[in-house]
Structure 1
Amino acid sequence: MIAKALKEGVYTLFKGAPNKQYNYKQVSSILDVRDEPTRKLISAILNELVGDGSLVESDRGKYKFNTRKNRFVGRIDGTQQGDAYFVSDELESDVLILNRDLNQALDGDLVSVRIKNVKGKRKVFGEVIKVVERGKSEYSGTIRLGKKFAFFIPDNPKISVDFYIDLTHINGAQNGDKVLAKIISWPKGKKNPFGSVSVVLGKPGENDAEIHSILSQYNLPVHFPEPVEMEANSVSKDIDQNELKKRTDFRDVLTFTIDPEDAKDFDDAISLRKSKNDLWEVGVHIADVSHYVKPNSLLDQEAYKRGNSVYLVDRVVPMLPEVLSNGLCSLRPNEEKYAFSAVFELSEHGKISKEWFGKTVILSNRRFTYAEAQERIESGNGDLAEEVLVLDKIAKALRKKRINNGALEIETEETKFKLDENGHPVEVYQKVSLDANKLIEELMLLANKRVAEFMGKPKDKERVGPFVYRIHDKPSEDRLNDLKVYLERFDYRLELQKNKPASFAINKLLSDAKKKGDHALISPMAIKSMAKAIYSPENIGHYGLGFSYYSHFTSPIRRYADLLVHRMLFDKLNGSPSSNGKIVDSQCKHISGMEKQAVDAERASIKFMQVKYMLDKVGEVFPGKISGVTEWGIFVELHDSKCEGLVHIRSLTDDHYYFDPEKLQLVGKRYRETFGLGDDVLVEVADANLFKRQLDFLLVNG
């Protein structure tokens, strides 16, 4: 059991029963903790929670939730203006903390905050009482050398203070280098901390320097700790005969993988064989990571900490060491592999007659790239073309049923780069999802959905235990109203249908926009109106997919959520006790947070590569479309590369322009020329700033 998750579980227990008191033995019993070391840890956690004001010791050795609490623990979310917001699960809304009240807290820090009442102010203000834990141990940025000392300027624009660094602590850094720096002291009353350079990353603009800077900015690791690597290397690589006796053998069943051309971590494989009565047996076989990564092991703790693999433009930061992610667990062709499988007997129309979940051993016969599988779907030729076509037919039937049930049909584009031998981007293109991609997508969705139903759907008054659901809430009325207002500016309507989810109206809207060539204009706002999908022990269904039950089962090599699901499913299949709900809730919050960090880092790496791609194109002219309008200018997305840059309002010198928020336009006061969302324009690349990861454009007349 992981200490952080345990602490959150203990806190959630008391918060959920504020009038009850418990001693450490009762807490251990409720959380189903039986081993003595973890029970002692609970005792220490109770004292910590008393120390930070979350609990009070009501009687000797007994604790209660502190209902009169005026101090709360949470994270600092900085702003570029220097103030910050305090975000805590204990509070319904965020709290504003002025710069003078931050008291040495930085963006991302875990802090204790006192709520202040400010006369005449409706907004809630706070003051940092204590920095409980720094959000980062190292910060990425640039070093500036002076004659007597150096300055470290953090990359993170939400950190408004520079670090003083003594010249004896620069670790060989040259002026202007990208570095990682640590805070070594911050004397009381001093505006700036004192730091030291721990790692010199390189020169600004170099791939390694910038990517390591991005990883540091989002608190993502570069390397695995040596003990974790040692544990990974010690895992047995042999197929154990005793283990085989516990598994269903699929080695003689036709099995293959379909993945991107550059994939190395093969999470999933598909098997296919004819069954009786014109039915097909389709096996969705998933790498059995849980066989190798045991709960509370060093590997498990590191995987939980990371939460997921991070896919940057030029590299992958894996959740598991390579010996597991690309080796032992990866379902490579012509190698016997342990799998956790979801096997379905179904018709070509996608109707399921039987299903089975369990541990298996498989032998993949063939590795397809998406392009190879697509060729067989389109031409009907090539090895295993018949089998691929059968799966394609089943997948299309499943997709049609899903859409008819109200699933959203939102097409998103994925920006990809072609890199040269030095890692420099030479081409930017948009990845298109073809039938081969959708084939795998639908089979994975099927497995994820049916596992969630098996775990969460009550049968014969069966008690349903805690589970890791992937949930997606319906859009709020406020967001739908905002979308309606936005659409009216472009003569579109969101035509909601009686007794039908809004997804049907959104699908029709997107279809109409696509026919008129306005998909790029309408789709982003439709997506913005949606809630974010997260992990939760409380099931509310997945609105976007149109599923009442959904989870993540199919990618345990790269997502910790799937590893948890595998363990829970295995426990249920074997009649073992279910997990504790409060611990699962804490785990869900953590992995949802790590997923967001990974997405933000991936976007930052894409933006960096887009700017780098445009470096040698300064002065060139490109066609684009206005993708955003603000009071300081217009954002333009180039048609071919999808690179986005800003045309600053001060560069529009032919008139004095102002921002019309109602029409989302810049309007010229004298000549009344307008620039609005979706307008086609010509722009010249004025600047490509790698440090800020920003592009500046100039509007070209005509």
Structure 2
Amino acid sequence: HLKTFVNPSVLKPTGRVVGIIKRNWRPFCGMLSQSMIKEATRHLFTPADRRIPRIRIETRQAANLVGQRIMVAIDGWPKNSRYPNGHFVKNLGSAGDKETETEVLLLEHDVPHQPFSQAVLSFLPKMPWSITEEDLKVRADLRHLCVCSVDPPGCTDIDDTLHCRELENGNLEVGVHIADVSHFIRPGNALDQEAASRGTTVYLCGKRIDMVPELLSSNLCSLRSNVERLAFSCIWEMNHNAEILKAHFTKSIINSKASLTYAEAQMRIDDGTMKDDITKSLRGLNRLAKILKGRRIAKGALTLSSPEVPFHINSETHDPIDLQSKELKETNSMVEEFMLLANISVAQKIYDEFSECALLRKHPSPPPLNYDILIKAAKSRDLNIHTDSAKALADSLNNATVENFPYFNTLLRILATRCMMQAVYFCSGMDSDFHHYGLASPIYTHFTSPIRRYADIIVHRLLAVAINADSTYPDLMDKHKQSALCNNLNYRHKMAQYAQRASVAFHTQLFFKNKGIINEEGFILFVKKNAIIILIPKFGLEGAVFFDNKDKPSPHLSFDSEGPTLKVEEHTFRMFDKVKVTISLDASNIQHQRIRMALIEPVVCFCFLDFFLLLLRDCNCIITWVSEMILTGRSQPQLFLYSD
């Protein structure tokens, strides 16, 4: 019962746990806090995950485990004990070591990363492998086409190639050719089960956890140049206004004529002296892509922004040595447009054939309340943001500019990204809302990356059945099994994103380890009751500067939620204000190292400082594309058209 003298403004909702529905005990990674009693065998273990309480364990190895990352499992939690009881499981290695910390973040985010078992490897094709006469009989022979791939430098898992040529009737033939991974991974065997369990390839800084064994991911399924490969082709006949006249899907055999980087492809397009077939194909693709992109934007496809900045990793030490700052080229967008078009075309095809069991991907519209902070932020600069539809939002963001503040629009788009919902896989027979909000598309799926996404393999199987290129798979026709598969894929994808963000956080700490104190300019991204959240664009960092303890209101602070603004002494902070801070690494807690910031300008008389690192987005922030494409080098930060 509340006493009448309690100040209502400081009351907090409270509750009591009355029952446990299901326990989620798993081994936890962390560090041992050795007892001060010399002969003690009972010690406290501090998990890396701050949400988990300390665990009491018994071990006689405490002296050897200090300073090590270890794994502990919970055995039980007595009612009268402050801590659960557990036992030592495994020593992972020295805290701070790159390999150890990578192992920890993979374990903590439940990312399957063990070497592929012999049972799995036994289902790989025997080497040397080559295309057989039987393959030639049942596939379209497209080896004569001028097909090429465009990818980041050093890419070894090449999923996709493209071609464009003029037909005799004056129209254009455009093809997207995707690695036929489903040819090598048959339903139900150990290789298929392992790929389904992993769900996705996980891209960490300087490390890749493959969904399928390397023989497939970097060799037989990689559409490298000048080798014959099996593909699944989506071919359109288009007019010169990029309107689709016919669409055709076929299993095929291709021979890529070139494996280009984005920069190399752009150089060919821009060099007027180059007249070869590859360059002509690229120019045709680029011209059509611009039309497709313009049409998508006109329909309301969102152009969002991310503050992340990828690292350049030393090839020998795997340490982050610099920040990558490369210009986003037209060829990045060119590839993106045709991958999106292929995904949409395939989604419609498999839904037309299997209305109850098509594996699709949707992006729900955000609830109106999600936009509150974005609307307030715009109003702080006398601008209006309309959120009635994706089109209205896109138009509002395009018109939201502030004179002499070019970065303002990027900041606003970063906030818009935070308002979005998570895109998810679903079974068409279990849902009625197919719309993809970010892409402004009524239907969508994933078809173009089967080397790194299991969802694409399922879509390939459905498409193969739809065109009579393969037999029917009973499990694919069961919408309940399909829905359960989607749930696992969504979970694996989410955990992969978290692991990728944790990897970036760790490498950011390594980057600042020997940098000392750095002065940098930043912008206020959020204003809280007792803090400001600062974004440092150069490093893609966010930090919170607290001006008071959360539980002890101070007369020196005045917060206006409508602004929102925070007045500290005589200075008023508001969103998007420019500030100057110092950045340094606080390594006082070896398990929970963090980036610290200190406010330099403007100067306030007092402030209690505490900081945290927010490198990528929280779980409600969409953009699979951000974590997948930026961490793999497929694209750059700054502005990008929302792509799933």
TM-score range, shorter chain: 0.7 to 0.9
Number of the residue aligned with 2:425: 535
Cα distance change, pair 97–198 in 1 and its aligned pair in 2 (3 A): farther
Cα distance change, pair 318–299 in 1 and its aligned pair in 2 (3 A): same
The Cα of 1:253 is off from its aligned counterpart by 1.1
Deviation digits for residues 274-332 of structure 1 (CA, Å, limit 9, x no counterpart): 31222222211111111111111111111111111111112111111111111111111
- Any unmatched runs of 5+ in structure 1? 1-94, 102-125
Tell which deviates more after alignment, 183-192 or 684-693.
183-192
Aligned-partner Cα distance in 2 for 1:320–1:96: 47
Number of the residue aligned with 1:38: none
User: 8 Å contact 2:517–2:583 — kept in the other structure?
Assistant: yes
Aligned-partner Cα distance in 2 for 1:283–1:173: 60
Deviation digits for residues 528-563 of structure 1 (CA, Å, limit 9, x no counterpart): 222221111235221211211211000011111111
Q: Are residues 1:602 and 2:484 paired?
A: no
Number of the residue aligned with 1:493: 384
Tell which deviates more after alignment, 255-264 or 274-283.
274-283
User: 8 Å contact 1:264–1:326 — kept in the other structure?
Assistant: yes
Instruction: Map residues 288-367 of structure 1 onto 2, 5 A cutoff.
Output: 288-367=180-259
Match of 1:474 among 345, 360, 365: 365
Say which structure, 1 or 2, has more relative contact order (CA 8 Å, 6+ apart). 2
Match of 1:213 among 99, 104, 117: 104
Cα distance change, pair 628–431 in 1 and its aligned pair in 2 (3 A): farther
Aligned-partner Cα distance in 1 for 2:499–2:398: 29
Deviation digits for residues 545-592 of structure 1 (CA, Å, limit 9, x no counterpart): 121121100001111111110111111222847611111111112211
Aligned-partner Cα distance in 2 for 1:700–1:225: 51
The Cα of 1:364 is off from its aligned counterpart by 1.0
Cα distance change, pair 334–184 in 1 and its aligned pair in 2 (3 A): farther
Match of 1:695 among 585, 595, 604: 595
Cα distance change, pair 386–234 in 1 and its aligned pair in 2 (3 A): closer
User: 8 Å contact 1:541–1:548 — kept in the other structure?
Assistant: yes
Aligned-partner Cα distance in 1 for 2:217–2:516: 41
Q: Are residues 1:405 and 2:299 paired?
A: yes
Q: Identity across aligned pairs (percent)?
A: 30
The Cα of 1:246 is off from its aligned counterpart by 0.9
The Cα of 1:413 is off from its aligned counterpart by 5.1
1:259 corresponds to which letter in structure 2?
D
Match of 1:662 among 553, 562, 574: 562
SS in 2 for 1:598: helix
Number of the residue aligned with 1:678: 576
Number of the residue aligned with 1:622: 520
The Cα of 1:415 is off from its aligned counterpart by 2.2
User: 8 Å contact 1:506–1:526 — kept in the other structure?
Assistant: no
1:144 corresponds to which letter in structure 2?
S
Number of the residue aligned with 2:34: 145
User: 8 Å contact 2:523–2:536 — kept in the other structure?
Assistant: yes
Aligned-partner Cα distance in 2 for 1:387–1:584: 39
Tell which deviates more after alignment, 367-376 or 144-153.
144-153
SS in 2 for 1:418: strand
Aligned-partner Cα distance in 2 for 1:412–1:510: 16
Match of 2:94 among 202, 217, 239: 202
The Cα of 1:343 is off from its aligned counterpart by 0.9
Aligned-partner Cα distance in 2 for 1:627–1:494: 17
The Cα of 1:345 is off from its aligned counterpart by 1.4
SS in 2 for 1:253: coil
Aligned-partner Cα distance in 2 for 1:557–1:674: 52
2:455 corresponds to which letter in structure 1?
A
Deviation digits for residues 172-218 of structure 1 (CA, Å, limit 9, x no counterpart): 954111233344666786532221141323232x2212221111110
Q: RMSD across aligned C-alpha pairs, in angstroms?
A: 2.8
Number of the residue aligned with 2:443: 549
The Cα of 1:262 is off from its aligned counterpart by 2.3
Instruction: Map residues 355-504 of structure 1 onto 2, 5 A cutoff.
Output: 355-382=247-274, 384-412=278-306, 414-420=308-314, 421-430=316-325, 432-457=327-352, 464-480=355-371, 483-495=374-386, 501-504=389-392
User: 8 Å contact 1:340–1:358 — kept in the other structure?
Assistant: yes
Match of 2:412 among 522, 533, 536: 522
Deviation digits for residues 492-547 of structure 1 (CA, Å, limit 9, x no counterpart): 202468xxx34233333244238752123311222222222111123522121121
1:167 corresponds to which letter in structure 2?
R
What TM-score does the superposition give when structure 2 sets the normalisation length?
A: 0.81
Number of the residue aligned with 1:166: 59
Match of 1:279 among 171, 174, 177: 171
Deviation digits for residues 146-193 of structure 1 (CA, Å, limit 9, x no counterpart): 44334321111111232414125x6x9541112333446667865322
User: 8 Å contact 1:267–1:555 — kept in the other structure?
Assistant: yes
The Cα of 1:607 is off from its aligned counterpart by 1.7
Cα distance change, pair 514–265 in 1 and its aligned pair in 2 (3 A): farther
The Cα of 1:636 is off from its aligned counterpart by 2.2
User: 8 Å contact 1:184–1:196 — kept in the other structure?
Assistant: no
- Any unmatched runs of 5+ in structure 2? 1-12, 603-644
What TM-score does the superposition give when structure 1 sets the normalisation length?
A: 0.75
2:143 corresponds to which letter in structure 1?
R
Aligned-partner Cα distance in 2 for 1:288–1:327: 12
Tell which deviates more after alignment, 597-606 or 157-166.
157-166
